[in-house]
Structure 1
Amino acid sequence: MGTRLAQTELQANNPPVGIAIGGVLGYGIGHIQGALPSWRYEFIIIGALCTAWGIVIMILMPDSPVTAKFLTNHQKRITVIRLKDNQTGVENKTFKPYQVWEALKDPKLYLFYVLGTVCNLPNGGISNFGTLIVRGIFQDKLLAAVMQAPYGAFIALSIGLCVYLNDRFPNNNRCKFVLIFLVPNIVGAFGLRFVDSSHHAGRYICYLLTGPYNAAFVLILSLQIANVAGHSKKVFFNAVLFLGYCTGNIAGPFFYLSSQAPRYELGIWSMIVSHLLEVVVICLLWFMLKKENTRRDKLQGHEGLTAEQILEKRRTEGYDRTAFEDLTDRENLNFRYIY
């Protein structure tokens, strides 16, 4: 019991590589025969590693490109200049209440909160109860722990593939990729719900397919960052998205009733419904952002122009100037949304 709880607690807070390594570590630590229960060794060892890595990050990681000691002054200027194209401005420590008020009136804020919730409601459940679901397949708690390694590796590969494709394709494909990477999750969740318990391999494959939602969430984070300008507004958006993240992770485990172990029918249905709601919200966000871009193109007379003509027109309209001002995405008509 203790080993399973420790393992699920680790999964709830670990990235995919952490899940994979945590599964192997959990298997190894589970064999320790010492004065303490094995689950306590897991907390001690993993906690010590996390503490040590936290100290490394605190010392070495800069809070912005400007303070990065490993960059030359020329490289620092390049990182700032690259912000010109996305028109999101540069960091401004001055709090501007009007930007927060604008955020509260922006429909995107509530859509990103819902996305943060429905994306992470499955995470709150599957990360805490995944080992128990796998144990219901393999009937061995240590084997269930080590079988999390392929799950974490599959998530890491999904995220890597998602980022690679997003980099290779032009802008305004992110919503499309979110939907693509949600398909395996929906298929896997339906499989966990309806594939018979006797089909162990099939159920485990379905469990693996529930992992790529992490890749979809990575793109949702990038959508939020790319589509909000104005430092105070951006910080407020970040906080609200994180609030949705916490809401989903808190609520998720409550759908997994001990009386339904190991199939957890209600928990699996919560995954299915959450992913379907995510599809609806992404499509709505896609429609809104595309519509607003079209409106701005008409307003600025960019319709029918080539990319080179638009760039030349923007140079004469103060495009470079607005790039480095602390303007919100609604204030800055040169801003274009990424969808």
Structure 2
Amino acid sequence: MANISSAEKDIEMDVEPGVKLEPQLGSIVSIKQDNEIQETIDETLAVGNEYDTASYRKLLWKIDLWLLPLMWLCYGTQQADKTAVSIQAVFGMRQDTGLVGQQFSWLTTIFYISYLVSEGPANALMQRFKLGRVLGICMLIWGVIVLCIAFAKNFAGLMVLRALQGVAECTISPTFLLITGAWYKSHEHAMRSIIWGTSNAGMAILTGLINYGIGLRAEKQPGGLAPWKGVSIFLGVLTMVLGVMVFFVLGTPDEVRWLTPREKKAALARVMDNQTGTDHIKRPWRWEQVTTTFKDPQTYFFFFVTVANALPNGGTTTFGNLVYSSFGFSSLDTLLKGTIPQRAVSIVWFLFVGYITLKKPNMRFFFMMISLIPAFAGMLTLALLPKNGYLWLRWGMYLMTVTGDLPGLLIWTMLPSNVAGRTKKSVTATVLFVAYCTGNAVGAQVFQAKDAPRYIPGLTVCAIMFGVEFVLMGLWRTYYMWQNKRRERFIAQLGATAEEHVRQGYLNAEADMTDFENIYFKYKY
């Protein structure tokens, strides 16, 4: 353990047997040698030291093959499920169910309101039970709900089903962030999250082509099943099948069945450097970490930046296809010339940024801010163009806005990278997704039926939010840099060796200390 100099302010309070810490920012935490934690670290690192570079590469490849393809399919299907109302709107759902005025907007707003209300209880379930089991059951439930949307007759029925869908779907994003943090090193978080995050675009292309086929068949057989109903049946069945797979495959290193005990220890040794704590020692709920969460400035960056990012997302995911229709595209052309090219550009940009952030650390904020510039320009241009004409210029400007999708995902990767302490991580995730729901719910309402077909006020609000987001991200990155420099100066006064500092950081993390309290923790940006 590192020797603590007289520069340390030694105010201690009991938090659990064998562990004492000082809860104030900027102080070193004194941890007594806890035998269980010490033995766990020694045993895990001993197995990890037996692995050479080639062995770790082989283990990482196995982890990627088991996790990423299934996460890709599930996350993309979830996005297709919750945004299906956008394509269903151009396939006749509004007419068949008698939607008028802002009723269509409310189908998105109610989804995110129920998502918001359910986020806290869902995170509590994820902390208490195995992640794969919780998510698998929730996917089965929301698959049934999506299927039932095909049989809705009116606005009331659609509202009930969309509300229930929001309750069930609120589990997937927090679960995937916890899984990413449990399996991967901090510098790998962005790339792995981008891989499963590209499924938003990738599955949009695949489901878009399938939906195109459904719509084409409906045009040829107008007396058959309505195309918007076919979309719900297809997505509902797909979701249920994936839910069964998730139940048996996904989880943290200690929860899965497809690794040997030795491989599990090696997987934990890989991520110990993150200093966010592994899942090898089960953590109780700690109310002092709830208090710490709301003392931490980064909690408020998570909230306000996410609101600014989610507000344009809520509008464009619901009204995106209607915006393309306003340019003069038919329902089927909206898919082929609008949605699919936009998603293809999104995939290319996501993967490019993911590769660069994997090779060069602390580049996430740089690329998030760069991505906002074309999105801001595209939205503002669409709002200012004359009422008629300029079809392909409008198409190009709206295509540019797709880069604004990237920051939403990279914001989420800051959670597994920069938040330590099991309870603090859970509470911060709840705050993040409350902000996400708030922004999306409001965003769906800024596109008003009276502004159709051009939706100029909604596009203008989206452009403004991109600008606000840019400024807030600059401040957030500056805060992380300031914190790291402050901690480096303090550690330099202690006089211990670099190895002792690393060791102390491991002990702090495995003792379930938060990033806010652990002076050895370094923020990644």
Q: Same fold (TM over 0.5)?
A: yes
Aligned in 2, Cα 1:141/1:310: closer, same or farther, shift over 3 Å?
farther
Cα offset, 1:313, TM superposition: 5.7
- Would the alpha carbon gap of residues 299 and 162 (structure 1) be closer, same or farther in structure 2, given more than 3 Å must change? same
Q: Deviations over 1:75-119 (max 9, x none)?
A: 211221122222111234310000001101212112111122111
Partner residue of 2:238 out of 37, 46, 49: 49
CA distance in 2, matches of 1:187, 1:208: 11
Matched, 1:173 2:363: yes
Q: Which residue of 1 aligns with 2:206?
A: 21
Q: How does 1:261-300 map to 2 (within 5 A)?
A: 261-300=452-491
1:64 alignment partner in structure 2: 252
Q: Which moved more, 1:173-182 or 1:22-31?
A: 22-31
Cα distance in 2 between the residues matched to 1:129 and 1:332: 45
In the other structure, the counterpart of 1:222 is 413
The partner residue of 2:441 within 231, 250, 262 is 250
Report the equivalent of 2:373. Answer: 183
Deviation at 1:22, TM superposition (A): 2.7
Q: Is the 8 A contact 1:118 1:274 kept in 2?
A: yes
- 1:149 deviates by 1.2
What's the offset of the Cα at 1:224?
2.4
Q: 2:229 aligns with which of 40, 43, 68?
A: 40
**1:314 counterpart = 2:501:** yes
Match of 2:451 in 1: 260
Aligned to 1:124: 314
Instruction: Give the equivalent residue in structure 2 for 1:141.
Output: 331
Q: Quick one: structure 1 residues 285 and 5, their matched pair in 2 at CA, closer, same or farther if it must change by over 3 Å? A: farther
Instruction: Answer yes or no: is the 8 Å Cα contact 2:505–2:521 preserved in 1.
Output: no
Q: Is the 1:4–1:141 contact (alpha carbons within 8 Å) kept by the matching residues of 2?
A: no
Alpha carbons 2:420, 2:509 under 8 Å: kept:
no
Question: Could you say if the C-alpha distance between residues 338 and 143 of structure 1 is closer, same or farther in structure 2, counting changes exceeding 3 Å?
Answer: same
Helix, strand or coil for the counterpart of 1:30?
Answer: helix
CA distance in 1, matches of 2:92, 2:342: 16
1:88 alignment counterpart: 276
1:73 is aligned to 2:270:
no
Post-superposition shift, 1:153? 1.8
Please report how far the alpha carbon of residue 263 of structure 1 lies from its aligned counterpart in structure 2 after TM superposition: 1.7
CA distance in 2, matches of 1:277, 1:239: 23
Q: What does the per-residue CA deviation read over 1:152-201, in whole Å, with 9 as the maximum and x for residues that have no partner? A: 2222222212211110112x222112111222211221222223441111
2:210 and 2:258 map into 1 onto residues whose CA distance is 34
* 2:268–2:278 Cα contact (<8 Å) kept: yes
1:4, 1:111 → 2: CA distance? 41
- Render the CA deviation track for 1:188-244: whole Å, top value 9, x for unaligned: 212222234411111111111111222212211111221111110000000110111
Moved more, 319-328 or 12-21: 12-21
Q: Residue deviations 1:59-85, cap 9 Å, x none?
A: 222x20122222232321122112222
CA distance in structure 1 between the partners assigned to 2:498 and 2:323 by the alignment: 54
Paired letter, 1:331: E
Separation in 2 of the partners of 1:123 and 1:138? 23
Does residue 115 of the first structure (1) align with residue 301 of the second (2)? no
CA contact (8 A) 1:89 1:323 kept: yes
TM-score w.r.t. the length of structure 2 is 0.59
Give identity over the alignment, percent: 28
Structure 2 residue runs without a partner (length 5+): 1-88, 95-104, 109-145, 147-165, 170-198
Which structure 2 residues correspond to residues 146-161 of structure 1 after superposition, within 5 A? 146=336, 147-161=338-352
| 126-135 vs 319-328, which moves further | 319-328
Per the alignment, in what secondary structure is the counterpart of residue 15 of structure 1? helix
**By how many angstroms is 1:17 displaced?**
1.5
Give the counterpart letter for 2:244 in structure 1. I
Give the partner amino acid of 1:150.
Answer: P
Q: Which amino acid aligns with 2:201?
A: P
* Structure whose CA Rg is larger: 2
Q: Matches of 1:214 and 1:69 in 2, distance apart?
A: 35
Letter in 2 for 1:332: N
Unaligned runs of 5+ in 1: 304-308
**Cα distance in 2, alignment partners of residues 187 and 279 from structure 1:** 13
Corresponding position of 1:97: 287
- In the other structure, the counterpart of 1:239 is 430
The one-letter code of the counterpart of 2:434 is: L
1:302 offset after TM fit, Å? 7.7
The amino acid that maps onto 2:260 is T
Q: Give, as a single letter, the amino acid of the residue that structure 2 aligns with 1:27.
A: Y
Q: Distance in 1 between matches of 2:327 and 2:90?
A: 19
Alignment: residue pair count: 330
Aligned to 2:382: 192
* 1:306 corresponds to: none
Between 1:294-303 and 1:214-223, the stretch displaced more is 294-303
In the alignment, is the contact (CA less than 8 A) between 1:83 and 1:90 conserved in 2? yes
Aligned-residue CA RMSD in angstroms?
Answer: 2.5
* SS of alignment partner, residue 95 of structure 1: coil
d(CA) in 2 for partners of 1:259, 1:331: 51
Mapped to 2, the partners of 1:204 and 1:2 lie a distance apart of 18
CA distance in 2: counterparts of 1:72 and 1:212, whole angstroms = 41
Structure 2 vs 1, CA of residues 5 and 271 (structure 1 numbering), >3 Å: closer, same or farther?
farther
